[in-house]
Amino acid sequence: MKFFVDTADIKEIAELNETGLLDGVTTNPSLILKSGRDIKEVIAEICTLVDGPVSAEVGATDLEGMKREGSILAEIAEQVAIKVPLTWDGLKACRYFAEQGRMVNVTLCFSASQALMAAKAGAAFISPFVGRLDDIGQDGLALIQDIRTIYQEYFFETEILVASIRSPLHVVRAAKIGADVSTIPYKVMRQLIEHPLTDRGLEQFVKDWAATGQKI
């Protein structure tokens, strides 16, 4: 499974990228707002830090606006994945950019039928929001399983990019289902390696090593 981080915070991206575990970055209007910076500047800087796909979302909701804004974002770097909403105009924009050979991330997916339509439109990534489905009493990971089944049956190349992740459990379950990518908040990314028994064991090892009086 590929790991993307879901943030527009340069410091967070740089830290995670140093681990060698980061495969890409996703951003959205809310994250850009939180950064307090111009979207083009943020995306350009992120692209200098990471080698993988960097999702940059259009703000327009009409086809012509998406085509115009997507073209501007695409000029920033070859690795930019143009992010569009899962609407009729969004799917048209997806087809438009896909035919130009550009990566497109179709976002705000909440059903298997939507995921099927995005794949047929040529999406490089489909972003199902598991956490938001859980919030309304539905099983977000069940949607990932449905999409995996459909994509395997018809050999779609669209990658399942699990979004709206709230905990390490979401990541592990998505990996077991066979999702291609998880886009993970910085906090959850750090939580993936945390376990109280690891901390307890390390504390004991450090104590015992000190008691040996040895140095390496």
CATH code of residue 11: 3.20.20.70
Residue spans of the chain under pLDDT 50: none
Q: Is 83 a catalytic residue?
A: yes
Residue-level pLDDT at 23: 98
**pLDDT the model gives residue 18:** 95
H helix or E strand, kind and range, residue 184: strand 181-184
| Inter-axis angle of helices 10-17 and 39-49, nearest 10 | 10
Q: Which tokens is 212 given?
A: 């040996």
pLDDT of residue 163: 98
User: 88 to each of 63, 100, 106, 114, how far by Cα in Å?
Assistant: 9, 19, 11, 10
Q: Identify the pLDDT of residue 165.
A: 98
- Select which of 34, 40, 83, 120 is catalytic: 83
The parent domain of residue 96 ranges over 2-212
Q: What is the pLDDT of residue 100?
A: 97
Long-range contacts of 135-143 (CB under 8 A, 24+ apart): 140/164, 140/170, 141/170, 141/173, 141/174, 141/177, 143/110, 143/111, 143/112, 143/115
- Quote the number of domains for the chain: 1
- Hey, how many other C-beta atoms are within 10 angstroms of the C-beta on 4? 27
